[in-house]
């Protein structure tokens, strides 16, 4: 559902927060085609697993980085799309600041249970609740 809401298209630059096994990054990489996916994972063994899985799957347009996803990845910004796979205390300005104009962010917001927000950056931010979800907490400087 998150990929569908983000409407990832060929040539887009995508940021994912929370690489996990690399599965979601692989799906987004296929959708991005000639574009590129950067995925940030704070747990080093998971980042290694994601790299291994992506290599086995023949996915070459994903870069896995160990770091604090709550800060985004400003060195490669701006992004067309940002997908957050962990619950955030709020819609993070560290992420919306890294979106291109017209870019979209999908982010679960809340502590125990979350609302899934689709945020579109225009001259401001358009925020839409797309449903109720449950994710692990986003850990980091701007997370829980």
- pLDDT digit string, tens, across residues 6-37: 999 999 999 999 999 999 999 999 999 999 99
Separation of alpha carbons 52 and 58, rounded Å:
10
**Reduced DSSP (H G I as helix, E B as strand, rest coil) percent helix, strand, coil of the chain, to 5:** 25, 35, 35
Mean pLDDT confidence for 39-59: 98
Does some domain include residue 107?
yes
Q: How many domains does the chain have?
A: 1
CATH code assigned at 89 = 3.40.50.150
Does some domain include residue 80?
yes
pLDDT at 75: 98
Does some domain include residue 142?
no
Please name which of 104, 105, 97, 91 lies closest in space to residue 138, comparing C-alpha atoms: 91
Contact 70, 9 (CB under 8 A): no
pLDDT at 94: 98
Band of the pLDDT at 102, cuts 50, 70, 90? Answer: very high
Does some domain include residue 144?
no
pLDDT at 143: 96
pTM of the predicted protein model: 0.97
Tokens of 68: 């604090």
Separation of alpha carbons 81 and 3, rounded Å:
10
Does some domain include residue 22?
yes
Does some domain include residue 6?
yes
Does some domain include residue 139?
no
Note the pLDDT tens digit of each residue in 88-98: 999 999 999 99
Q: Which of 34-61 are b and which e, b meaning 16 or more Cβ less than 10 Å from the residue's Cβ?
A: ebbbbbbbbeeebbebbbebbeeeebeb
Domain boundaries, position 45: 2-133
Does some domain include residue 31?
yes
DSSP helix/strand/coil, 101: strand
Phi first, then psi: what are they for 55, rounded to 5°? Answer: -65, -45
């Amino acid at each position: 559902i998150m990929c569908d809401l983000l409407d990832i298209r060929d040539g887009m630059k995508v940021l994912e927060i929370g690489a996990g096994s690399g599965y979601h990054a692989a799906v987004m990489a296929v959708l991005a085609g000639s574009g590129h996916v950067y995925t940030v994972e704070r747990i080093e063994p998971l980042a290694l697993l994601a790299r291994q899985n992506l290599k086995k799957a023949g996915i070459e347009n994903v870069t896995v980085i160990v770091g604090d996803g709550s800060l985004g990845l400003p060195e490669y910004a701006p992004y067309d799309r940002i997908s957050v796979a962990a619950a955030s205390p709020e819609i993070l300005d560290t992420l919306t600041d890294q979106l291109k104009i017209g870019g979209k962010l999908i982010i679960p917001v809340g502590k125990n249970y979350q609302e899934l927000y689709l945020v579109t950056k225009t001259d401001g931010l358009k925020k839409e609740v797309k449903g109720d979800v449950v994710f692990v907490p986003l850990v980091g400087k701007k997370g829980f």
